Chain A
């Protein structure tokens, strides 16, 4: 029979283009957010974080935007490279509680 599982959102981009991955979080009291990258066969790796008192934070080729009004988080990757192909998770933290999103699968087309 047909298996039922998570249907990961997918995003395909051309190498060199910018990527935007979105995440909606659930708890308006969440005060810390992290983006993780998970490559095939590996554990999640930290990319960038942001606290709730900020609305933007930049790293190397990555930018995270936080919109608390609509509880939305986005990850922008500039000049996407084949090595960026992975599943990207957002995680929200409220005190000692934290939750991971289901992830978005990014495929970079050479």
Chain B
């Protein structure tokens, strides 16, 4: 398997623009996670899905952020409108289960909002 795939790897956009980050989890993994990593706050869980259904979105910063998982092989994280403070590396991860299961992380998307 190719592992978790994320696109784009780098995104530079202007404040106010819509940004869409994409993730393809490992086939057969029932759980998908979106994280944000910054120097200020470290690695933060934003939201996770089980079988395409959002389970816990308590980490989503505000209404500007939304995530969807239309099918088992694709998820998006959208920021609209984007702000400079959204600049971070966004990771997607997937796992076979929740709890005592390893999460497999993608390479991340580095987002810069100017």
Q: Which residues of A contact B (CB under 8 A)?
A: 3-6, 31-32, 34, 36, 41-46, 49, 51, 89, 93, 95-96, 98, 100-103
Contact = CB atoms under 8 A, between A and B. Distances in A.
Contacts of A49: 100, 102
Contacts of A101: 42
Closest 9 pairs (CB-CB, A-B): A43-B105, A5-B39, A32-B100, A100-B43, A46-B102, A102-B42, A5-B40, A44-B105, A43-B91
A42 B41 contact: no
* Chain B interface mostly: loop
A80 to B, nearest CB: 23
A96 B99 contact: yes
B14 interface: no
27 contacts: A3-B39, A4-B40, A5-B38, A6-B40, A6-B41, A32-B99, A43-B93, A43-B105, A43-B106, A43-B107, A45-B105, A46-B102, A46-B103, A46-B104, A49-B102, A51-B100, A93-B99, A93-B100, A95-B99, A96-B55, A96-B98, A96-B99, A98-B99, A100-B42, A100-B43, A100-B45, A102-B42
